[in-house]
Amino acid sequence: MASFGLKVIRLALSGVAAVSPNAAGRAAFRLFATTPRRRPGTAKEKELFARSRGWMRQAQRVTLSFEGGSAVAHRFAARPCEAFAGRVLVVHGWGSRTAYLAALTEGLVAAGHEVVALDLPGHGASRGRTLTLPMAVRAIDAAWQRFGGFDYFCGHSFGGASLACAASGLVPSVPAHRPRRLVTIGSPSEMMWLFKDLGRLLKLGPRAQAALESHVERIAGAPLSAFDAANGAGRLGAPMLVLHAEDDKEVPALHARRYAAAGPNVTLEWANGFGHRRIVSAEPVIDRIVDFLAEDRRRLAA
């Protein structure tokens, strides 16, 4: 059953659409692009945030500027006593932040990696209240330039899709940045689904839906169909690990299957039972990511 707030939004958009479908489409996009509150809301989020404080204090904080916004990167140095395993860029999902990925970033550092984790615009320590896919890709580009590139990408949900788009060069005017290996965790495979799903959620009529999609394409500078991370992943050639739970209620498992069908470079592994959010902190998932990245070093050493 829809919440009272959602019912009010649907009613308001319906009224706007009766006068101007274009205005309703623009309003729907503003709702979509407005980031949620940063303060931990649920008991689980508060627990994760509290547990991560000591770990987050160990990171060097770097502000990255790019056209249209800024983002904060948290750099966790590789341990000097460990053999260096490569530099990893880690990106969180929508409504999340680096602090919620502490188990993942700690696991990567323990395995010998230098880790740079982004707080996307409107999330965590980053300023703003708006985030779009082009903004996320520009933030990734800024991190690549600032830190001299990355050996590996690892992203959860929206962050994984953003990294896949960045690696494939799907955002106009932003160069492709290709890591040696890429990991996505519970990530959508294409952007058209997001906006179709938004339209269904808001109960937009056909004209307002068309206006929404046209508005997005004007901002992105390309048709929505161009932002297909699965197709881009297939063209990359670099090994890619797709981790997903079939019980994920936020990003359907069909997205993982689309990635897997994209090319022989893509490996799909199910992490059933962990849903959409617990998956990113699950010990078996982190162990698999560490091993997948280590396969690259074993291959180079062979």
The full set of domains in the chain, from first to last, is 1-34+194-221 (no CATH), 58-190+227-301 (3.40.50.1820)
* Phi, psi (rounded to 5 degrees) for 90: -115, 135
Please enumerate in sequence order all residues whose Cβ is within 8 A of that of 129, keeping only pairs 6 or more positions apart, or say none. 34, 35, 122
Cβ atoms of residues 64 and 72 within 8 Å = yes
Predicted local confidence at residue 160, as pLDDT: 98
Cβ atoms of residues 116 and 87 within 8 Å = yes
Average pLDDT over residues 162-189: 96
Q: Which residue has the tokens 């623009």?
A: 26
Task: Render 164-217 in DSSP notation, one character per residue.
Answer: HHHHHT-STTS-----SEEEEES--SBHHHHHHHHHHHHT--HHHHHHHHHHHH
Predicted local confidence at residue 38, as pLDDT: 83
Q: Which residue has the tokens 């689980």?
A: 44
Average pLDDT, the chain: 94
Predicted local confidence at residue 7, as pLDDT: 86
Predicted TM-score (pTM) of the model is 0.94
Residue 138 and residue 45: Cα distance in Å, rounded? 27
Average pLDDT over residues 116-136: 96
- Name the helix (H) or strand (E) containing 241: strand 240-244
Predicted local confidence at residue 83, as pLDDT: 86
Tell me the percentage of the chain whose pLDDT exceeds 90.
81
Through-space distance between the first and last CA atoms of the chain, rounded to whole angstroms: 56
pLDDT level of residue 182 (50, 70, 90 thresholds): very high
- Cα of 200 vs its chain's centroid, Å: 22
Predicted local confidence at residue 2, as pLDDT: 64
**115-140: b (≥16 Cβ within 10 Å) or e:** bbbbbbbbbbbbebeebbbbbbbbbb
Cβ atoms of residues 112 and 84 within 8 Å = yes
- Name the helix (H) or strand (E) containing 140: helix 133-147
Q: Among 50-59, 129-138, 292-301, which stretch is predicted with the lowest mean pLDDT?
A: 292-301
- 221: region left, alpha or beta (phi > 0 left; psi from -120 to 50 alpha): left
